[in-house]
Chains A and B, each alone.
Chain A
Amino acid sequence: MNVTVPPAKLTAKDFASDQEVRWCPGCGDYAILKAMHKSLADMGASPENTVFVSGIGCSSRFPYYMATYGFHTIHGRAPAVATGLKLARPELDVWVVTGDGDALSIGGNHLFHALRRNVDLNILLFNNEIYGLTKGQYSPTSRVGQRSPSTPMGSVDSPAEACTYALGCGARFIARGIDVQAKELDVLFKRAREHKGASFVEIIQNCIVYNDATFAAFTEKDVAADMQLHVKHGQPMLYGKERNKGLRLNPQTLSLDAVVIGQNGVTEKDILVHDEKNRVLAGMLAALRPPSFPEVLGVIYCNPAAESYEAAVAAQEKQAKAKGPGDLDKLMRGGNIWTVS
Chain B
Amino acid sequence: MNIQTDAGPRGPSATASKSDLDSIVVRFAGDSGDGVQLLGSQFSQETALAGNSLATFPDYPAEIRAPTGTTYGVSAFQINFGSRPIKTAGDQPDVLVALNPAALIVNYKNLRKGGLVILDSGAFKEKDMKRAGFAVDPRLDGTLKEFRLLEIDISAQALEVAKPFGVSQKEALRTKNIWTLGLVSWMYDRELVSTTEYITRKFGGDDPVGMANIAALKAGHAYGETHELSGDVAPVSMPSVKSEPGTYRLVSGAESLAWGLAAGAQLASLEMVLASYPITPSSPILHILARLKQFGITTFQAEDEIAACCAAIGASYGGKLGVTASSGPGIALKIEAIGLAISTELPLVIVDTQRGGPSTGLPTKTEQSDLFIAVWGRNGDAPIPVIASRSPGDCFEVAIEAVRLATKYMTPVMLLSDGYIANAAEPWLIPSMADFKPFPVTFRTDPEGFHPFLRDPHTLARVWAKPGTPGLMHRIGGIEKDYNSGNISYDPSNHQKMTDTRTAKISNIANDIPEQDVALGETKGKLAVVGWGSTFGPINRAVANMREKGLDVSHIHIRHIWPLPRNLGQLLKSYEKVLVAEMNNGQMLTLLKSQYLVDAKGLLKVSGQPLKIEEVSSAIRSQLGAA
Point out residues on A near B: beta carbons under 8 Å.
Answer: 17, 19, 47-49, 51, 53, 63-64, 66-74, 77, 80-89, 91-92, 109-110, 112-113, 313, 316-317, 320-321, 323-326, 328-329, 331-333, 335-341
Q: Which residues of B contact A84 (CB under 8 A)?
A: 273, 275, 300, 310-318, 322
Task: A84-B315, A87-B315 are known; give 11 further A-B pairs, CB within 8 A.
Answer: A51-B467, A63-B475, A66-B475, A72-B476, A80-B307, A88-B314, A88-B322, A89-B319, A109-B307, A331-B259, A336-B48
Q: Is the CB–CB distance between A71 and B477 below 8 Å? A: yes
Write the B81-124 contact mask toward A (1 if CB under 8 angstroms, else 0). Answer: 00000000000000000000000000000000000000000000
Q: Is the CB–CB distance between A325 and B273 below 8 Å? A: no
Chain A nearest Cβ from B252, distance in angstroms: 12
B227 at the A/B interface (Cβ < 8 Å)? Answer: no
Chain B nearest Cβ from A158, distance in angstroms: 24
Separation of A326 and B273 alpha carbons in the complex (Å) = 15
Q: Which residues of B contact A317 (CB under 8 A)?
A: 293, 296, 298
With A113-B303, A113-B307, A338-B247 known to touch, is A49 a contact of B467 (CB < 8 Å)? yes
Separation of A69 and B431 alpha carbons in the complex (Å) = 41
With A49-B467, A74-B336 known to touch, is A83 a contact of B311 (CB < 8 Å)? yes
B471 at the A/B interface (Cβ < 8 Å)? Answer: yes
| 26 residue pairs A–B, Cβ–Cβ below 8 Å | A47-B473, A48-B467, A53-B314, A69-B468, A69-B473, A70-B474, A71-B317, A73-B340, A80-B303, A82-B314, A84-B275, A84-B313, A84-B317, A85-B467, A87-B273, A87-B311, A89-B318, A89-B468, A92-B467, A317-B298, A324-B294, A325-B295, A326-B295, A335-B249, A337-B249, A338-B49
Contact partner, A81, options B194, B243, B310, B475, Cβ 8 Å: B310
Q: Is the CB–CB distance between A325 and B51 below 8 Å? A: no
Chain A nearest Cβ from B79, distance in angstroms: 16
Separation of A14 and B308 alpha carbons in the complex (Å) = 34
Chain A nearest Cβ from B261, distance in angstroms: 11
B interface size (C-beta, 8 A) = 70
Q: Is the CB–CB distance between B473 and A320 below 8 Å? A: no
Chain A nearest Cβ from B151, distance in angstroms: 33
B487 at the A/B interface (Cβ < 8 Å)? Answer: yes
Chain B nearest Cβ from A25, distance in angstroms: 19
Q: Is the CB–CB distance between B294 and A321 below 8 Å? A: yes
Q: Which of A82, A109, A331, A338: most chain B CB closer than 10 A?
A: A338
Q: Is the CB–CB distance between B51 and A338 below 8 Å? A: yes
Q: Is the CB–CB distance between B294 and A325 below 8 Å? A: yes
Q: Is the CB–CB distance between B475 and A69 below 8 Å? A: yes
Q: Which residue of A lies closest to B197 (CB)?
A: A336
Q: Is the CB–CB distance between A110 and B307 below 8 Å? A: yes
Separation of A341 and B242 alpha carbons in the complex (Å) = 10
B479 at the A/B interface (Cβ < 8 Å)? Answer: yes
Chain A nearest Cβ from B241, distance in angstroms: 9
With A88-B298, A331-B259 known to touch, is A81 a contact of B244 (CB < 8 Å)? no
Separation of A296 and B471 alpha carbons in the complex (Å) = 41
Contact partner, A313, options B298, B344, B471, Cβ 8 Å: B298
Q: Is the CB–CB distance between B479 and A72 below 8 Å? A: yes
Separation of A337 and B245 alpha carbons in the complex (Å) = 13
Q: Is the CB–CB distance between B318 and A109 below 8 Å? A: no
Chain B nearest Cβ from A60, distance in angstroms: 9
Q: Is the CB–CB distance between B337 and A336 below 8 Å? A: no
Chain B nearest Cβ from A202, distance in angstroms: 21
Chain B nearest Cβ from A315, distance in angstroms: 11
Chain A nearest Cβ from B37, distance in angstroms: 17
Q: Which residues of B contact A329 (CB under 8 A)?
A: 432-433
Contact partner, A341, options B245, B313, B473, Cβ 8 Å: B245
Q: Which of B298, B317, B467: most chain A CB closer than 10 A?
A: B467
With A72-B478, A73-B477 known to touch, is A48 a contact of B313 (CB < 8 Å)? no
